[in-house]
Amino acid sequence: MYSALTEAAKHVDYLFVQFYNNYCHTGDLKSFSDALEKWLSFSNSGPLIFLGLPAHPSASSNAVYYRSPSELKVIYEVHI
């Protein structure tokens, strides 16, 4: 999958990746970190990655996928 994305990277400016309702949600920091690192390595010379996250606990299939702004700040600081 990533090899195809790497080839396409030169044709894409932005990617909006949904990081909830799947295995790499922010509630599982290990899976999230691993997935984010893969996306960032892919985009190293290509598109900007935007994290798709629910803005409210009811905005996804399960409230476990929601992170408050203060929680997101901590997650962000770990990855910058």
Handedness of CA 55, 57, 61, 65 (dihedral sign): positive
pLDDT in tens, 21-54: 988 888 888 888 898 888 888 777 678 888 899 9
Domain span at residue 62 reads: 2-79
Amino acid 45: pLDDT: 67
| Percent of the chain residues topping a pLDDT of 90 | 22
Mean pLDDT over 7-22 rounds to: 85
Amino acid 68: pLDDT: 93
Ranges of H-type helices in the chain: 2-8, 29-42, 69-79
Total domains in the fold of the chain? 1
Mean of per-residue pLDDT scores for the chain: 84
Q: Distance (Å, rounded) from C-alpha 17 to C-alpha 50?
A: 6
